Chain A
Amino acid sequence: MLVATANQTIGPYWHLIEDPTWADLTRFGAEGEKIVLTGTLFDGGGNTVADAAVEIWQTSPESSDTFPGFGRCRTDGAGSFRFTTLKPGPVAGLGNAQQAPHVAVSIFARGLLKALTTRLYFQDEVLNETDPVLSLIDSETRRRTLIAQKVSADTWRLDIRLQGDNETVFMDI
């Protein structure tokens, strides 16, 4: 058996492959409930992280010619990302389990030798109570690091803390 290629940091100059339109997952004409996902990245010193690539992947709604399910956004000078996408619905889990609506998130940046992977969930979803991944987290405080708050009719916000107080729950997958 072969062994997978090692990761190395994306470094500070990845913008050579940046395409700002990738932050809008509805750009190919997707129909549905359009939402904005935004947030700010912080390091362990409370500084904003202004050179990161944030990627999202969602399996609901199912990807199609008009909806790629995937987006990439560079954090801006204030360390913030902003995606336009479609609101996901419940997602099949293992066996008969059902997962709460969620979006997978990867963080790449200078100083990260490999991606940090996490998930974004949505405030006030009934399925959050029984979600098989959220249920693995004992601490209510830590679980909250994954739940985006609704800040306007169409906008959810989730800050991501790489290290320290309120550190985001990152995942091995």
Chain B
Amino acid sequence: MTTETAPFQATETAPFRPIAADSQPANDTPSYGSTHLRHPTQPPLSIPQTVTETTGPRFSPAQFGPMADLSMVGGKQAQGERIIVRGRVVDENDRPIPHTMIEIWQANAGGRYDHPGDQHDAPLDPHFHGGGRVFSDADGWYQFTSIKPGAYPWRNHHNAWRPNHIHYSLFGTGFAQRVITQMYFPGDPLLALDPVYLSVPDQAARERLIAAFDIDITSPEWALGYRFDFVLRGRNATPTEQG
């Protein structure tokens, strides 16, 4: 037996690469007010990745049923601009991550969340809830239908508005791959003013949070299409690199 070990096995417990410099936001981001009392002041402890960090939970669509159409409730269409979001989940080695769960949540077209804590004076839409869940397919592709979320004010600073965005939560195949992020829309003038978006130091990393309009995903007479890919941390020892 030389390199004939099963690739799946070989990669499943290999440690993840270190996080690329400046690709992630710092929790100590003074321009985002809520961070002031919530960011740790002690430096994080670097620990070796053990089986606790290199493996992670698995979710099956049988147990956690997909909810891939956020654009209607009870068979009735939500208000707003219908969109399709499609993309791939891959790792840093550009390998697809198949059958992985993606959780989705967002505001309605008026910029209001269907949540008791959201007191923004914009109407709730009885035909929009804003929570969804999809799974990537065997090649890492995912897709869902929704409504373009509206911008909304928040009290971070005078006249503060969040850009249009959709929230996502992904698990990947290991605890250290866990990511919760937000997807933005191209051409949004609020991006340049948003402390959350601007918290990512590296400009290229930041801009990868912006979806691309895609005419091929756009469905004629039905919905505008956007492309958004997720990249999760890649494992260090891949079969090709062992050779």
Q: Which residues of A contact B (CB under 8 A)?
A: 1-17, 43-45, 47, 49, 51, 55, 57-59, 63, 68-70, 91-94, 99, 102, 104, 106, 108-116, 119, 132-133, 136-137, 142, 162-164, 167-173
Contacts and interface: CB of A to CB of B under 8 A. Distances in A.
B19 interface: yes
A7 B175 contact: no
24 contacts: A1-B93, A2-B92, A5-B181, A6-B24, A7-B181, A8-B25, A12-B117, A13-B105, A17-B103, A17-B105, A49-B38, A58-B52, A70-B56, A91-B52, A92-B51, A104-B52, A113-B25, A113-B35, A116-B27, A133-B45, A162-B37, A167-B42, A170-B42, A170-B44
Contact of B55 (A6, A59, A132, A172): A59
B57 A112 contact: no
A110 B154 CA distance: 12
A98 to B, nearest CB: 10
A65 to B, nearest CB: 9
Given A4-B92, A13-B113, A171-B44, A112 B231 contact: no
B50 A116 contact: no
Contact of A113 (B29, B40, B178): B29
B38 A4 contact: no
A73 to B, nearest CB: 14
Given A91-B52, A113-B29, A162 B131 contact: no
A3 B205 contact: yes
Chain B interface residue bracket vs A: 35 or more
B131 A2 contact: no
Given A108-B180, A112-B38, A4 B231 contact: yes
Contacts of A57: 52, 56-57, 175
A7 B24 contact: yes
A121 to B, nearest CB: 12
B46 A7 contact: no
Contacts of B196: 8-9, 113
Given A2-B92, A13-B117, 12 more contacts: A4-B24, A6-B200, A6-B205, A14-B105, A17-B133, A113-B32, A115-B180, A133-B47, A163-B39, A163-B40, A168-B40, A169-B45
A110 B180 CA distance: 12
